Amino acid sequence: MAAPMLDRLATRIENRLKLRHYVLLDAIGKYRSVTRVAQQMSLSQPTITKALADIEDIFMLPLFVRTRRGLEPTAEGEVVLKRARLALLDATVLQQELAAVQQGRQGHLRVGHIPYVASSALDAMWEHLLSMTPRMTLMAHEDTSLNLMESVRNRELDCAVCRFSHQSIEDEVVQVPLYGQQAYLVVANDSAQRMADMPLPEIAELSEMEWIFPPSNTPIRHAINAIFAEAGKQVPIPVIETYSIRAISSVMRRLSRGITVLPGDIARMVADTGNAQVLSRPLKWILPPVGLAWLRGSPKAELAEQLAGVISKAMLKQDCS
């Protein structure tokens, strides 16, 4: 699109585009039918058709085409739909922020974290957030690193404590490394004593054990797969894939040759249940680093930076003690 056309488009968007247009676009993107959208919004079909024509006139482009399956977004329509959903999500978050402030709170923060986050890191984060005056309302969400990063990009979370990999580096998301974790083998009680008397084996030498793996889309799983591949060994088919500490502990009680790889403090939590033991020596490889991620330019960027400093300081203090 030529520069004069881009200037004209910018003026039309600034002067004519409204939040209600995004509401309509989101509904059309969801239902792909003027009839269904009209029913859902309690409006007539001609009203919906005219409103869509007005929106397309603002953008000077067709955003949808009619097909046998209904209204399908064009390439430009897909871009506009994504921005519409983000704008509507921002409006919802704004409502939550205002509701919190009206109740005497400082605002609202949506934070995510992986299941294997260090207890000291979580404790430091919550201590900081809950000591703020006035307090914020908080929403916590636990998930895999991949899903957390996607939620940050989609503005569904303000920040997330997750594990970084080389593939996760990108410009739109700020990623601040906080700490590293040492990996340990955790073995079911029936096999732990036998293995404790042996030199620490390489993971790839344990392919015949009954493995518990983290989900396939996690940095730890990628690292484990790489170790087997580099040793020329086939990656074992796990008995179960899980990130749940309770599930790991329960499964260990039922597997005589059960084995998994966990960060040190998480490994001790599983061992404390009495269903497994941690081999005393750490493995020779380091887990991908844990850090804090947030969207560049986010309204919560300053608070996220504070949290990164608080967590880093807590983890450094733990290492020195």
pLDDT tens across the length of the chain (321 residues):
666 777 788 888 888 899 999 999 999 999 999 999 999 999 999 999 999 999 999 999 999 999 988 899 999 999 999 888 888 888 888 888 888 788 877 889 999 999 999 999 999 999 999 999 888 899 999 999 999 999 999 889 999 999 987 555 567 899 999 999 899 999 999 888 788 777 767 777 788 899 999 999 898 898 889 888 888 888 999 999 999 999 999 999 999 999 999 999 999 999 999 999 998 888 887 788 999 999 998 989 999 999 999 999 999 887 654
Residues 296 and 175 in one domain: yes
Query: CA-CA distance, 221 to 203, in Å (whole number)?
Result: 13
* Coil, helix or strand at residue 209: coil
Residues 108 and 70 in one domain: no
| Domain edge (last residue) among 88, 114, 140 | 88
Residues 124 and 176 in one domain: yes
Whether residue 161 is contained in a domain is answered as yes
Specify the number of domains making up the chain.
Answer: 3
Q: What share of the chain is helix, strand, coil (3-state, %, to 5)?
A: 50, 20, 30
CATH number at residue 65: 1.10.10.10
Residues 187 and 274 in one domain: yes
Residues 81 and 155 in one domain: no
Domain that holds residue 244: 183-278
> Is pTM beyond 0.85 here?
no
Give me Rg for the CA atoms of the chain.
25
Supply φ then ψ for residue 184, to 5 degrees. Answer: -130, 150
Q: How many helices and strands (H and E) does the chain possess?
A: 12, 12
Whether residue 137 is contained in a domain is answered as yes
Residues 195 and 139 in one domain: no
Whether residue 93 is contained in a domain is answered as no
245, containing H or E segment: helix 245-252
CATH number at residue 217: 3.40.190.10
The two tokens of residue 2 are: 């030529």
| Domain edge (last residue) among 88, 120, 145 | 88
Burial class (CB in 10 A: 0-12, 13-18, 19+), 321: exposed
Among candidate residues 287, 284, 289, 285, the one with its CA nearest the CA of residue 311: 289
CA dihedral 266, 270, 271, 276 (to 10 degrees): -130
Whether residue 284 is contained in a domain is answered as no
Residues 242 and 176 in one domain: no
The alpha carbon of residue 120 and the mean position of all alpha carbons in its chain are separated, in whole angstroms, by 20
Residues 221 and 239 in one domain: yes
Among candidate residues 177, 220, 131, the one with its CA nearest the CA of residue 311: 177
Residue whose tokens read 């001790």:
268
Whether residue 59 is contained in a domain is answered as yes
In this structure, the number of other CB atoms found within 10 A of the CB of residue 35 comes to 11
Whether residue 96 is contained in a domain is answered as no
